[in-house]
Amino acid sequence: MPLRRLPSWVDGSGPSYAKRADAMKLADEIAAQHGLDKTWVRRQIARVRQVPQAMERVLPPSPGSRARDWQQYRGNYLQADRIGAGVEFWRKHEALLARAQAQYGVPAEIIVGILGVETFYGRNTGNYRVIEALTTLSLDFPAAHPRAAARTAFFRDELAAFLKKCHAAKLDPFQLRGSFAGALGIPQFMPSNWARYGVDFDGDGRVDLSGSVADAIGSVANYFKSFNWKPGMPTHYAVSFDYALLDLPLLLAPDIKPTFAVEQFTAMGVLLGHDARQHEGPLALVELQNGDYSPSYVAGTENFYAVTRYNWSSYYALAVIELGEAVGQAMASNRVRGRESPARESPLRENAAREAASEDKSTRM
């Protein structure tokens, strides 16, 4: 039997915060604002050592770094092993996924896509002590970051939420591991979202996002319902362009927020298929760069926007959606044929090919 690979833990290796006046001041502020025992909060912060790796990883890419590439990004997640793991996860937890969909209106495909992208269905939940990552980013967030002040405030709020949750649940803060940014559990919730959207879906009296798949599934579904997921609405539609009418700057100005009616899309040169033309509600033109090749585009609905509330990236959202679809297709093929079959290729690849073919024309317009 092969040996199981042990996690590579990242523990604080920098200076201790025990004797830093600003660290103890922050501890006192958290205790006062959230009604926590000051001695307990001080004791937790005093045990923390700085995590230099977290400080490095929050910095944005350097100018001139490699251009964004949707097809490459997609390839990181739409892989046979991840799709296969998704099928196994869905089969094992089909009843929970069905219950979550019935209760919250969020399709199993979206939940499966989220958990697959975030942690490979619980395999990779993070190797940092959450309290060390959050304390480091609360007190030593890199000043070189363009939004250092706002991000420092964000991580201080998350540290407070984490300590409050641990204190209430009688958890040792040093036993919880997560990402370099402090996200934890199978769904990688930040502590404030753990408190706000976490669901005790297995009925054991506590919200356990690390050890309970049921709680993870229910919490993801509850999260999307809270961000106005609309049952039955597609996430996006394929598009093509009438380049004589195309007003790309105006279409992209709202970014990924659904803003335009179908009629406005058509007037600005966006061609939609039959189902998309029947859509009720605003749409956004979502652009995904493909490195040196022409971009891919989709028409994002309010449900596409809801997926971006989990991670504010259109690349992330479409990877989640397509992974969930691929797992669902593999499940359906397995049921029909009694064996595994390759997932159907995404129509986005066809769309990218169409756009690449029309690259010369688009640059001339």
Q: Given the structure tokens 């009604």, which residue do they identify?
A: 35
Q: Is 188 helix (H, G, I), strand (E, B) or coil?
A: coil
- For residues 61 and 33, the answer to whether their CB atoms sit within 8 Å is no
For residues 209 and 189, the answer to whether their CB atoms sit within 8 Å is yes
SS3 145: coil
In order, the DSSP letters of 220-245 are HHHHHHHTT--TT--SEEEEEE-TTT
Which DSSP letter does residue 333 get?
Answer: H
Strand (E) or helix (H) holding 308:
helix 302-308
Is 118 in the active site?
yes
Alpha-carbon distance of 85 to 323, in angstroms, equals 11
Q: Taking a C-beta distance cutoff of 8 angstroms, is the pair 262, 272 a contact?
A: yes
Nearest one of 313, 285, 290 to 301, comparing CA atoms: 285
**Among 208, 226, 186, 195, which Cα is nearest to 103's?**
226
What gap in Å lies between CA 47 and CA 17, rounded to an integer? 7
The catalytic position among 29, 88, 109, 118 is 118
Residue 201 contacts residue 158 (beta carbons within 8 Å):
no
235: Cβ contacts below 8 Å, ≥ 6 apart: 110, 300, 301, 303, 304, 307, 317, 321
Active site residues: 118
